[in-house]
Amino acid sequence: MTTLHLPWLEASILVLLGGAAWVSRLRTAEAKSSTCLWISAIAFALTVAAWVDYVALMQETAQGPVASWLELESILIIDSLAAPLLPLASILYLFTFAGTLKTKFRQFSFPGALIAEAILLAIFACRAGWPLAVLLMFRLVPPYLEMRSRDKPTGAYVFHLLAFAILLVGGYALVKSQTQLPASGWIVAPLTIAVLIRGGIAPFHCWAPDLFEHATFGTALLFLTPMVGAYSAARFVLPIATIDTLHALGLIALVSALYAAGMAMIQREARRFFCYLLLSHSALVFVGLMSGFEVCLTGGLCIWLSIGLSLGGLGLTLRALEARHGRLSLVRFQGLYDHTPALAVCFLLTGLASVGFPYTFGYIGTEMLVDGAIHAYPYVVGAIVVMVAALNGIAVVQAYFKIFTGSQHVSTIHLGIGIRERWTVLSLAALIFAGGLFPQSGVASRFHAAQELLKPQQTHPASPRSANLSPVRHVSRRSDG
């Protein structure tokens, strides 16, 4: 197997783990914050270098996955799916460290966040098998420890994610005992339930709002936004399930997306609004993953990247507002625009980008998801996907009016954003518009990842006839009609 030119992955993980040990020895919160910012920036640069190195190797050799220097069997390996997820995860942590205000220093665990980032990078650099299962279980520990240290309830979190761990281990052991693929529905059932729990798909979603309620906003945001549940589904379920099983999971996710979009519209508190908005978009990614059709799967993977940026930015905006005003209510109008116009613009930009507003990164992905869903599922599914996007858009605009308009907020202190927050807002806006104005390379990368994910399905006897259709053939066929 081809290896990277330099050990970028090992270096990024070691930098984060060593940085966590260093930061834990610092005494002042200000020193911890600034040190974490530099460490996360270095890790982000290393993951970008790994992505660039992978793309260069693919252009030279036209091979599949690329191993890092350790050359282990299933860990520290980059493929088309994981290559952009590594810098996405790193930039989410970088923006979170940059946007953490002094009022949140003592609540947010900086060493724990660095350890969690290292585990997340290892997860995205792990293809499958027991190493991935172990890493997924390790990833559950930091939020639990934080809630325990703050004397917050952990019952819902422990119940659901302990069930996730048990079903993941038992389900994977059951699948490993099988010799014939695709596996039957009852054999895949424990794994499917496990990934549905981790992805927050209804009715297994109750732990997610509870996490946002009791953990710090930054910890909850970083735990859910990278969509580790979707990654688990792509690695554990997609290669072994029948197309009927995948479509059943896709329809369950579609119902969950519609339910979460409706719940986002009626929330009375900003944290829960954001949680349900994130769960709705995450469920749409599941719809694309389980379609078995290249166009729909490509759209789902594009949405994965776009909402990682857009909803990550929206969550950081709400977190910055909370640092200034406390928990935000959506019952009455707050009128905060005059005090924080930059955060208001960022809120509206990231919120609309998440629902596929034109000229943003999510626009092409949403169009491909809708177009592919019409062919992969019953025709009504495409209309429901459009309805979900519309409801999410209404929820975003409604929350914007509640928070930023309608009354005059009086404050005796300055509530404007600082330099680090301003750079975070500008960077998010640049990335969102760059992905929307120049989507070619991103869509091509996600299409190649969709082809790799569908290779096991194409070898199954029950593989759908549409799995071998490329977007080019699909468009030309429609134009001929």
pLDDT score recorded for residue 64 = 59
pLDDT score recorded for residue 306 = 92
Q: Are 81 and 33 in contact (CB under 8 A)?
A: no
Is the preceding omega at residue 142 within 30 degrees of 0, hence cis? no
pLDDT score recorded for residue 410 = 55
pLDDT score recorded for residue 240 = 87
pLDDT score recorded for residue 466 = 39
pLDDT score recorded for residue 179 = 67
Q: Whole-prediction pTM value? A: 0.89
d(CA 162, CA 168): 10
pLDDT in tens, 265-324: 999 999 999 999 999 999 999 999 998 888 999 999 999 999 999 999 999 999 888 888
pLDDT in tens, 12-40: 999 999 999 999 888 888 888 889 999 99
pLDDT score recorded for residue 475 = 36
d(CA 78, CA 75): 9
Q: Tokens for 399? A: 């929350």
pLDDT score recorded for residue 474 = 37
pLDDT along the chain (481 residues), means of 10: 74 93 87 90 94 82 57 69 92 89 77 92 87 93 91 92 94 83 80 94 93 92 94 91 89 95 94 96 93 90 92 90 86 85 89 89 89 85 91 94 79 63 82 86 87 74 41 36 35
d(CA 63, CA 79): 10
